[in-house]
Amino acid sequence: MTRTMKTGTTKTGTQALSRRRVAVTGALGLATVALAAVPAHAKGNVDVTAPGTAAVGKAFTVTAQGEDDATNYKRVCLEDRSGGRAWHQVACGATVGRGTEARVVAQAKGTHRGTLEFRAVLYGLSGPQDKHPTRMRNSDVVKVQVR
């Protein structure tokens, strides 16, 4: 007489499989809750506009605007440089509150031939009279060819 083994799942095997399913489902649920609790990143942008070319000694207009919803008060400033030197602040706009886009308009003049570079910097302030603003973001660099 030959003996055959009965194959299949036993009661203890079914319980172990059930426990694993519950553990996996719980881990996925916990991961979903953890991802939902992560704070959203602030949205914002800074843009600068300037002409592509300018004549030596002639004035031209450079404008910048910026927004960031991470701060209640903000201000945008224009910076320039030529010849790869350090950035210098040209002008700053007024301090504005949440929901308003910060703007600045400046007149610039190329004193010699070459490339002038401009960028806008958005600063966040803790209040309208804050003397120590925090740099939030920079715009891309815009180049003006002075001829």
> What pLDDT shows up at residue 29?
58
Name 114's Cβ contacts closer than 8 Å, sequence gap at least 6: 82, 83, 146
> What pLDDT shows up at residue 139?
96
State the fold for domain 44-146: Immunoglobulin-like (2.60.40)
What does the chain come to in residues? 147
> What pLDDT shows up at residue 37?
47
> What pLDDT shows up at residue 42?
62
**Which runs of E-coded beta strand occur in 55-110?**
59-68, 73-82, 88-92, 96-97, 102-109
Could you give the dihedral angle defined by the CA atoms of residues 46, 52, 55 and 59, in that order, rounded to the nearest 10 degrees? Answer: -20
- Could you list the pLDDT tens digit for every one of the 147 residues in the chain? 566 665 655 555 566 656 777 666 665 555 554 444 445 556 889 999 999 999 999 999 999 999 998 899 999 999 999 988 999 999 999 999 988 999 999 999 999 999 999 999 999 999 999 999 999 999 999 999 999
Name 112's Cβ contacts closer than 8 Å, sequence gap at least 6: 56, 146
Give the start-to-end residue ranges of the domains of the chain: 7-38, 44-146
Burial of 107 (0-12, 13-18, 19+ CB in 10 A): exposed
> What pLDDT shows up at residue 9?
53
